[in-house]
């Protein structure tokens, strides 16, 4: 049976379990051939739901076995230009899972990634930010990535700011402490929700201790 005929849309299912099972089947088989089949299927421009399920299956593959998608970064980046939200965020999820394997390519593709983040869903932004954090950890890209990450922190919705700050703090170069503190202090006046204020204050307290 063709791999696409096992996806949720083909089984008239609205849940993700069939797509997860397809991904597990591909991973268990070490299935680069099946990955190519799914990509060819997406390129054939089937209906929106079919494209979405196929790209989400690839994202599940990337979660479990990133190496199977390592050579598909160019295709996944191209899908960030899709008009289908689920295709965009599925592609961003997949890219986040392979970012450590394709740092140079993703660094060169940051304009497309950031454009998709700015226009996309919460999921698209979150996984795009994960890509940025992965690139930040590479000394070759760290200074450029820090500035781009600060831009994301400046415009992040208050309910995302805490987790974004925490992801950066986990890998922060001490030379960037003061700049990060300054940005988070500036953002503190924007936030009215008590929980988000407490979370931000907790992050700032941790940073001040490291000065």
pLDDT digits (tens, 9 = 90+) for 67-86: 999 999 999 999 999 999 99
Q: Is residue 150 part of a domain?
A: no
For the ranges 25-34, 122-131, 143-152, 179-188, which has the lowest average pLDDT? Answer: 25-34
Structure tokens at 78: 């191209």
Number of Cβ atoms within 10 Å of the Cβ of 121: 15
Q: Distance between CA atoms of 71 and 68, rounded to whole angstroms?
A: 8
Q: Is residue 165 part of a domain?
A: yes
What is the total residue count of the chain? 211
| Structural domain range at position 32 | 3-138
Closest CA to 173 of 205, 145, 201: 145
Question: Based on the domain organization, do 126 and 162 belong to the same domain?
Answer: no
Asked whether the beta carbons of 50 and 7 are under 8 A apart, the reply is yes
Asked whether the beta carbons of 169 and 199 are under 8 A apart, the reply is no
Closest CA to 61 of 12, 13, 19, 1: 19
| Last-in-domain residue among 138, 165, 195 | 138
Q: Is residue 149 part of a domain?
A: no
Question: Based on the domain organization, do 166 and 202 belong to the same domain?
Answer: yes
Q: Residue 16 maps to which CATH number?
A: 1.25.10.10
Percent of the chain with pLDDT over 90: 96
State the total domains in the chain: 2
Question: Based on the domain organization, do 112 and 161 belong to the same domain?
Answer: no
Question: Based on the domain organization, do 122 and 71 belong to the same domain?
Answer: yes
Question: Based on the domain organization, do 27 and 129 belong to the same domain?
Answer: yes
Q: Distance between CA atoms of 201 and 199, rounded to whole angstroms?
A: 5
Question: Based on the domain organization, do 107 and 56 belong to the same domain?
Answer: yes
Question: Based on the domain organization, do 89 and 185 belong to the same domain?
Answer: no
Question: Based on the domain organization, do 51 and 110 belong to the same domain?
Answer: yes
Structure tokens at 208: 């001040």
What pLDDT is stored for residue 32 in this prediction?
Answer: 84
Question: Based on the domain organization, do 160 and 125 belong to the same domain?
Answer: no
| pLDDT over threshold 90, residue 51 | yes
């Amino acid at each position: 049976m063709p791999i696409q005929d096992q996806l949720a849309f083909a089984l008239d299912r609205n849940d993700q379990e069939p797509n997860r099972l397809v991904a597990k089947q591909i991973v268990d088989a070490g299935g680069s051939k099946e990955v190519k089949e799914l990509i060819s299927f997406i390129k054939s421009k089937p209906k929106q739901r079919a494209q979405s399920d196929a790209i989400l299956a690839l994202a599940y593959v990337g979660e479990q076995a990133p190496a199977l998608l390592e050579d598909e970064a160019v295709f996944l980046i191209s899908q960030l230009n899709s008009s289908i939200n689920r295709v965009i965020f599925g592609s961003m999820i997949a890219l986040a899972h392979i970012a450590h394997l394709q740092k140079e390519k993703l660094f060169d593709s940051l304009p497309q990634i950031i454009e998709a983040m700015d226009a996309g869903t919460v999921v698209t932004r979150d996984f795009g930010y994960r890509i940025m954090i992965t690139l930040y950890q590479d000394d070759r890209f760290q200074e450029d990535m820090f500035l781009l990450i600060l831009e994301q922190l400046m415009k992040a919705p208050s309910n995302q700011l805490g987790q974004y700050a925490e992801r950066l703090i986990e890998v922060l170069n001490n030379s960037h402490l003061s700049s990060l503190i300054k940005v988070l202090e500036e953002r503190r006046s924007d936030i009215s929700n008590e929980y988000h204020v407490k979370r931000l204050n907790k992050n700032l307290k941790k940073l001040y201790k490291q000065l």
